[in-house]
């Protein structure tokens, strides 16, 4: 039987990643990190969940996303954990409406590009003191350029490939 618990430490790391990667389309107040225990999955490390548009409308609610981190996640290095968090955040589309970006975009090559930008932003001292209430609307939207398919030099290397890991 699956059990879940809040993951405030991962919530904080997720918020830092969102801010440093300028993923301003993600509403920090409507994304929740949880740890999941008891999964029978052998390969899954984390997964992103949402409430579909039909159910949102029927219930009269806005989109929410839940990122579930399975027990294997905590055994990984911090760098690999950061990549998993980035991977799951990349599934959240620009519209933030309850859909998903698929593994043609959310792939190892693109995660590596985002992770490199995250590491560079940390070195430059950006985003210190971030919490889940930060106003990310003020940040420029790095991911909107990618989702529109811009081919300037900053976004070269991002490509659509199939599969990375299940998540």
Three-state SS for 9-67 is HHHHHHHHHHHHCCCCCCCHHHEEEEEEECCCCCCCCEEEEECCHHHHHHHCCCCCEEE
**Quick check: 117 pLDDT over 90?**
yes
CA–CA separation, 116 vs 48, rounded Å? 22
CA–CA separation, 156 vs 137, rounded Å? 25
pLDDT score at 165: 37
pLDDT score at 138: 32
Handedness of CA 132, 135, 137, 139 (dihedral sign): negative
**Quick check: 100 pLDDT over 50?**
yes
Give the residue-averaged pLDDT of 114-140.
61
Cβ(96)–Cβ(27) below 8 Å: yes
The domain segmentation of the chain, as residue ranges, is 3-155
CA–CA separation, 130 vs 20, rounded Å? 9
Give the residue-averaged pLDDT of 17-42.
94
The residue that leads in pLDDT, 140 or 28, is: 28
- Mean of all residue pLDDT scores within the chain: 80
Cβ(44)–Cβ(69) below 8 Å: no
pLDDT score at 68: 97
pLDDT score at 2: 92
pLDDT score at 73: 97
In this prediction the pTM is 0.75
* β partners of residue 69: 35, 46
pLDDT score at 125: 66
Going by pLDDT thresholds of 50, 70 and 90, the confidence category of residue 156 is very low
Cβ(65)–Cβ(31) below 8 Å: yes
pLDDT score at 115: 96
């Amino acid at each position: 039987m699956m059990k879940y618990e809040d993951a405030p430490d991962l919530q904080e790391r997720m918020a830092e990643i969102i801010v440093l990667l300028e993923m301003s389309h993600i509403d920090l107040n409507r994304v929740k990190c949880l740890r999941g225990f008891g999964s029978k999955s052998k390969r899954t490390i984390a997964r992103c969940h949402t409430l579909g548009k039909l159910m949102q409308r029927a219930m009269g609610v806005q989109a929410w996303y839940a990122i579930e981190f399975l027990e294997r996640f905590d055994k990984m290095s911090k760098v690999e954990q950061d990549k998993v968090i980035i991977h799951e955040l990349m599934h959240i589309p620009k519209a933030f409406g309850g859909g998903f970006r698929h593994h043609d975009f959310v792939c190892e090559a693109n995660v590596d590009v985002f992770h490199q930008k995250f590491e560079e932003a940390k070195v430059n001292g950006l985003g210190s003191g971030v919490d889940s209430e930060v106003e990310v609307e003020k940040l420029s939207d790095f991911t909107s350029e990618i989702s529109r398919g811009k081919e300037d030099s900053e976004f070269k290397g991002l490509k659509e490939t199939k599969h990375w890991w299940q998540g």
